[in-house]
């Protein structure tokens, strides 16, 4: 095993290569493009077997990914943001076909206004589709995540497609040391693709993805998809356990960082959660008993694990790097519904929105969030959700607005 400096995109490409993906339907989009460029190069130079085809849109790309998997080959694909949304119809469709495949999403904020940097609204939009979701916070996790994802997706008890998510720029273009497992070690962990009972062959004709009319039959197929996805809770654990045995690295469905004796918790996903670890360490130095919970598995939602890990805690700050317009932080809502009604759950579940479009979250902001939930616990009342934004930032945007010829009046706060 060797440690190399890899970007998140590079790690994703290595994951696909080590998993011996047969078919890579592709379409370029920032900040994912390096993944398909890397794979294309390897295929062109015979370092990797496999076929990469550029489709004319992400909607077509996911269609091709799904039909190829339904025919019977191992498929890898990647996209971001607008591309993921353009394909959204097919995400739901392909999951309904029960086509196993790995889709790497390099998270990027959504239009409008259009931007290039990371947040999680794109991948959150796919949460109801039937795709499982694994969220990574390091480049190592990306590579390992792709390999584990194939085991999970192709498991006969699941047979659903899976998204492995990494943040644009902060992981996709950032190099970190990554341990590259040996080919043989990966082969021992991940067997070749087994099409199982759904495939296209001349000698066993099938009509796939057919119309289902009637609420009762339709409900059956949809519920079964959900049950299959729920099997992901157990299967993730067993695959992660095996991964640890083979490679020595442990990936619980929810990472708990210094939470055992913690009274207060941060809950956060993705690469920015790494920053929360720094904040935890500094707060601990200052005498706090605080920790971080970082879900890796977002779909299926690891509710039982969260119930266990939140039991007896006083207050929780959920930091969402996404915003459901008209409601608030998505992870916050998911967590609240998972914890409600269970015994000894934290009295305070506070919502913070930060990091949209890659907006940085400073360590001081983490300290302040910790103080907010502590005060709230002492006062016994949940604070309103906070959109993380500073006075300096507001002044900055006013300057931009001046240039953009917004009326002077509004600078003084008048209508």
Partner 1 sequence: MNENIKKLKDLPSTHLMGTGTPMCAGCGGLEALHQVYDILGKNTVIINAAGCMTLLSVYPFTPFSGSWIYTAMASAPAGAQGVRDALDILRKKGSITEEEDLQVVVLTGDGSAYGMGMSATSGAMDRDLDFIYLCYDNEGYGNTGQQYSQATPHAAQTATSKSALGFTGYKKDLFSIWAAHKPAYVATVIGSEPLDLAKKIEKAKGLKGPKMIIALSPCPTGWDFDPSKTVDIGKLAVKTGIWPLKEYIDGKVIHTKIPKKRLNIEAYLKEQGRFSHLFEPTRNESLLAELQKKVDTYWEEIENG
Partner 2 sequence: MYRIRFHGRGGQGIKVTSRILGSALFMNGYEIQDAPRYGAERRGAPIFAYVRASKNSIFERGIVRNPDLIVVADESLIPLPAAAVIQGADEHTVLLLNTRIDAQTWKERLNFPGTVLSFDAYICFEEQQDERFTGTACVGAASRLLGLFDKSILKEAINEELQEMKSEIIEKNITIALKAYDLMEPYEHCVNSSKKTDALNYVKPHWVELPFENARTSAPVIHATLTSENVPTGLWRTLHPIIHYEHCHRCWWNCSTFCPDSAINVNEESFPVIDYDHCKGCLICSTICPSHAIEVISESEARKRMEKKEEE
Q: Which of 1, 202, 213, 404 binds partner 2 (CB under 8 A)?
A: 213
* Binder among 208, 238, 402, 410 for partner 2 (CB under 8 A): 208
180 binds, among partner 1, partner 2, none (CB under 5 to 8 A by kind): none
The answer to whether the beta carbons of residues 270 and 135 sit under 8 Å apart is yes
Which one of residues 43, 60, 82, 367 is an interface residue with partner 1 (CB under 8 A)? Answer: 60
Stretch that binds partner 1, among 17-25, 121-129, 159-167, 262-270 (CB under 8 A): 17-25
Binding residue for partner 1 (CB under 8 A) from 2, 45, 113, 202? 202
Report, in angstroms and rounded to the nearest whole number, the Rg of the chain calculated over CA atoms: 22
Determine, following the binding rule CB under 8 A, whether residue 72 of this chain makes contact with partner 2.
no
202 binds partner 2 (CB under 8 A): no
Is the bond leading into 113 cis (omega within 30 degrees of zero)?
Answer: yes
Q: Which of residues 83-122 bind partner 2 (CB under 8 A)?
A: 96-98
For residue 224, the partner it binds in partner 2, partner 1, none, with Cβ less than 5 to 8 A by kind, is partner 2
Residue 413 token pair: 């706060």
Q: Tell me which H or E stretch contains 99.
A: none
What is the rounded CA–CA span in Å between residue 263 and residue 249? 28
Q: Which residues pair with 182 in a beta bridge?
A: none
Taking contact as CB under 8 A, which single stretch among the options 27-35, 83-91, 202-210, 285-293 is the one that binds partner 2?
202-210
The residues pairing with 264 across neighbouring beta strands, listed in sequence order, are 290, 315
Find the binder of partner 1 among 64, 104, 240, 292 (CB under 8 A). 64
Q: Please, what is the minimum distance in Å from the beta carbon of residue 76 to partner 1?
A: 13
d(CA 187, CA 168): 29
Residue for token pair 């006062």: 379
Instruction: Give SS3 for 55.
Output: coil
Residue 63 binds which of partner 2, partner 1, none (CB < 5-8 A, kind-dependent): partner 1
Neighbours of 168 (CB within 10 A): 28
Rounded distance, CA 318 to CA 331, Å?
7
Residue 90 binds partner 1, judged by CB under 8 A: yes
- Distance between CA atoms of residues 243 and 142, nearest Å: 14
Is 264 a binder of partner 1 (CB under 8 A)?
A: no
Q: Does 23 bind partner 1 (CB under 8 A)?
A: yes
Q: Among partner 1, partner 2, none, what does residue 223 contact (CB within 5–8 Å per kind)?
A: partner 2
* Exposure letters 268-289 (e unless 16+ CB within 10 A, then b): bbbbbbbbbbebbebbeeeebe
55 binds partner 2 (CB under 8 A): no
Question: Does residue 209 bind partner 2 (CB under 8 A)?
Answer: yes
In the block, residue with structure tokens 């039982």: 304
Rounded CA gap, 108 and 84, in Å? Answer: 10
Q: What's the CA gap between 26 and 37, in Å, rounded? A: 10
> CA 63 → CA 13, 90, 276, distances in Å?
21, 6, 38
Q: Which does residue 225 touch among partner 1, partner 2, none (CB within 5 to 8 A, set by kind)?
A: partner 2
Interacting partner of 201 out of partner 2, partner 1, none (Cβ under 5 to 8 A depending on kind)? partner 1
Binder of partner 2 out of 41, 51, 191, 196 (CB under 8 A): 196
Residue 400 touches partner 1, criterion: CB under 8 A: no
Determine if 213 is a binding residue for partner 1 (CB under 8 A). Answer: yes
Alpha carbons 240 and 395: distance in angstroms, whole number? 47
Residues that bind partner 1 (CB under 8 A): 22-23, 25, 51, 53, 55-57, 59-61, 63-73, 89-90, 93, 97, 200-203, 205-213, 217
Residues that bind partner 2 (CB under 8 A): 96-98, 156-157, 159, 196-198, 204-210, 212-213, 220-221, 223-225, 227-228, 231
């Amino acid at each position: 095993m060797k440690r190399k400096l890899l970007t998140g995109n590079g790690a994703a490409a290595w994951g696909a290569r080590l998993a011996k993906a047969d078919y890579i339907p592709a379409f370029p989009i920032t900040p994912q493009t390096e993944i398909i460029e890397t794979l294309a190069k390897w295929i062109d130079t015979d370092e990797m077997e496999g076929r990469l085809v550029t489709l004319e849109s992400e909607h077509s790309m996911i269609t091709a990914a799904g039909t190829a998997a339904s025919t019977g080959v191992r498929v890898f694909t990647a996209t971001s943001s607008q591309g993921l949304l353009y394909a959204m119809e097919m995400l739901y469709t392909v999951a309904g076909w029960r086509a196993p495949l790995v889709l790497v999403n390099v998270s990027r904020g959504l239009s409008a206004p259009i931007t290039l940097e990371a947040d999680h609204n794109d991948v959150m939009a796919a949460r109801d589709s039937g795709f499982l979701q694994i969220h990574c916070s390091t480049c190592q996790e990306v590579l390992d995540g792709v390999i584990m994802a194939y085991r999970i997706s192709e498991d006969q008890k699941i047979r659903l497609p899976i998204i492995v998510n990494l943040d644009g720029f902060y992981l996709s273009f950032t190099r970190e040391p990554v341990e590259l497992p040996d080919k043989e070690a990966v082969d021992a962990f991940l067997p070749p693709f087994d099409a199982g009972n759904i495939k296209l062959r001349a000698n066993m004709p099938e009509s796939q993805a057919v119309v289902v009319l009637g609420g009762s039959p339709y409900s059956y197929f949809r519920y079964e998809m959900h049950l299959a996805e729920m099997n992901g809770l157990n299967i993730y654990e067993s695959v992660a356990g095996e991964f640890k045995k083979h490679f020595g690295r442990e990936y619980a469905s929810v990472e708990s960082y210094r939470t055992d004796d913690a009274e207060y918790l941060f809950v956060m996903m993705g690469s920015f959660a790494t920053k929360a670890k720094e904040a935890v360490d500094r707060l601990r130095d200052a005498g706090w008993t605080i920790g971080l919970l970082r879900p890796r598995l977002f779909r299926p939602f690891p509710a039982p694990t969260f119930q266990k890990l939140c039991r007896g805690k006083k207050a929780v700050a959920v930091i969402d790097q996404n915003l459901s317009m008209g409601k608030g932080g998505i992870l916050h809502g998911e967590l609240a519904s998972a914890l409600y009604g269970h015994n000894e759950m934290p009295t305070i579940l506070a919502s913070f929105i930060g990091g949209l479009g890659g907006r940085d979250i400073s360590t001081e902001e983490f300290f302040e969030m910790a103080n907010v939930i502590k005060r709230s616990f002492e006062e016994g009342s949940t604070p309103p959700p906070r959109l993380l934004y500073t006075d300096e930032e507001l002044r900055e945007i006013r300057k931009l607005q001046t240039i953009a010829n917004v009326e002077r009046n509004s600078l003084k706060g008048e209508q």
